Amino acid sequence: MTTPLLDVRDLTVTINRDGHLITALDKVSFSVNPGEVLGIVGESGAGKSITGAAIIDLLVPPLKRTGGTITLAGERLDRLSPKAMRSVRGGRIGFIFQDPMTSLNPVISIGRQLCDTIEAHLKIGGEKTKRKALEWIERVGLPNPEVQFRRYPHQLSGGMRQRIVIALALCANPALVIADEPTTALDVSVQAHILQLMRDLHRESRASMMLITHDLGVIAKMADRVAVLYAGRVAEISTVGELFNAPKHPYTRGLIRATPMPSADGEVRLDQIPGAMPGLGAVPPGCAFNPRCFKAEGDCRAAIPPLTTEESAAFSCFHPLERETA
Ligand SMILES: Nc1ncnc2c1ncn2[C@@H]1O[C@H](COP(=O)(O)OP(=O)(O)OP(=O)(O)O)[C@@H](O)[C@H]1O
Ligand SMILES: [Mg+2]
């Protein structure tokens, strides 16, 4: 058995709303193996971003981590001081967010930002740092690195900015990269290029990646395994192949069928799941998906199904789907 690089157990995040504690993440568990890309999918509001932010300790009130453990290469991150955690961020864990401007400082040149990250985490200085920064500008595909080095974020296009964010996330040789909707804010034509870049750099660096997206198409292209979140809980974790071919959780199948992707016969099928995901504080008793589920029975309304683990897969359902035989 592989020892995971990142292991998240029973991660719980609550929101304090005028003194009432509302559960936003309810005992979320998953792991990321060395060199693997784990996709995190789910509808808007499922808790994907909160999961990423909780791991790197970037939750801000009213959000608070109230339970669970986060272990990176055997070390408990959830026990680190804020100062120690700051050095993990940008060092052993790189991150890429949807809006490049949240990761870039508008008043510092991109060369200086790269040098600062390299110096802080790799403990090298002087000419070596600058050379490394220039190397990274080139690796992420920007022309004339010396010119780019002196430019400021506002002088770059959105796609170029995201390339620099990717360089910043990777330049300290992280063990793990957390990317939260890295292409969602970009033009469609730029999205494919950025995904390709991420795939190439992932292959070269062998850093593990947690790729958060609502887009199953991105998952199909990039991920090895996938965790499906629903209303702050894990519905299913599986390899990409199993997930698309033989989903176990009815929600997973619903999500796949609601995605415009041509099936084997070339037909584009689109079936929306009836109803909507419950909002915060409105999660029904039992399985959170039960009001929308065609397989729901009494037990689904009575108790939360435990996460049943099988090899590298897991699902939380009392009545999992059978493998369909065509
Ligand atoms: N700062 C906050 N204060 C209150 N509620 C919040 C806060 N941040 C997130 N939430 C709520 O927590 C839930 C999960 O949010 P999260 O941002 O993790 O969703 P998501 O899966 O990333 O969705 P999206 O696909 O839209 O990015 C949502 O209901 C959201 O409204
Ligand atoms: Mg999000």
Percent of the chain with pLDDT over 90: 87
The span from the CA of 228 to the CA of 301, in Å, is: 20
Task: Please check whether residue 132 is in contact with residue 189, taking contact to mean a CB–CB distance below 8 angstroms.
Answer: no
Cα(259) to centroid of ligand 1, in Å?
22
Mean pLDDT of 167-186: 96
pLDDT (0 to 100) of residue 263: 62
CA of 187 relative to ligand 1 center, distance in Å: 23
pLDDT for 1 beyond 70: no
Nearest to 23 by CA among 233, 314, 326, 227: 233
Residue whose C-alpha is closest to residue 148's, from 108, 111, 107, 185: 111
Residue 7 has pLDDT above 60, yes or no: yes
Out of 14, 25, 49, give the residue to mutate to test ligand 1, the one with the largest number of ligand atoms within 8 Å of its CB. Answer: 49
Q: Is the CB of 171 under 6 A from ligand 1?
A: no
Q: How confident is the model at residue 307 (pLDDT cuts 50, 70, 90)?
A: very high
Point out the ligand 1 atom lying closest to the alpha carbon of residue 61: 1
- Residue 255 falls inside a structural domain: yes
Residue 308 lies in a domain: yes
Distance CA 101, CA 105 (A): 7
| More confidently predicted of 312 and 159 | 159
Ligand 1 centroid to 110 CA: how many Å? 30
Say which ligand is closest to the CA of 28: 1
The distance of Cα 167 from the centroid of its chain, to the nearest Å, equals 18
Q: Over range 244-269, report the average pLDDT.
A: 84
Interacting residues of 310 by C-beta distance below 8 A, sequence separation 6+: none
Residues 216-229: what's their mean pLDDT?
96
Q: Is 154 among the domain residues? A: no
The distance of Cα 298 from the centroid of its chain, to the nearest Å, equals 33
Q: Please report whether residue 201 resides in a domain.
A: no
Concatenate the DSSP letters of all residues of 174-190 into one string: -SEEEEESTTTTS-HHH
Hey, how many other C-beta atoms are within 10 angstroms of the C-beta on 38?
Answer: 24
CA of 236 from ligand 1 middle (Å) equals 20
pLDDT at residue 271, as a whole number: 82
Task: Look at residue 223 and tell me if it is in a domain.
Answer: no
Q: 21, 63, 219: which to mutate for ligand 1, most atoms within 8 A of CB? A: 63
The answer to whether the CB of 22 is under 6 A from ligand 1 is no
| Bond prior to 62 in cis (omega within 30° of 0) | yes
Task: Find out whether 218 and 239 touch, Cβ atoms under 8 Å.
Answer: no
Structure tokens at 57: 């300790």
Give residue 51 CA to ligand 1 midpoint distance, Å.
10
**Is residue 301 situated within a structural domain?**
yes
Which residues sit opposite 9 in a β-bridge?
Answer: 69
User: Is 302 within the bounds of a domain?
Assistant: yes
Supply the pLDDT for residue 171: 96
Task: Please give the Cα distance from 16 to 280 (Å, whole number).
Answer: 11
The residue segments making up the domain with residue 240 are 231-260+285-326
39 within domain boundaries: no
Asked if 106 contacts 152 with a C-beta cutoff of 8 angstroms, the reply is yes
Closest among 168, 112, 108 to 136, alpha carbons compared:
168
Q: Look at the chain and report how many structural domains it folds into.
A: 1
The torsion region of residue 27 among left (phi > 0), alpha (psi -120 to 50) and beta comes to left
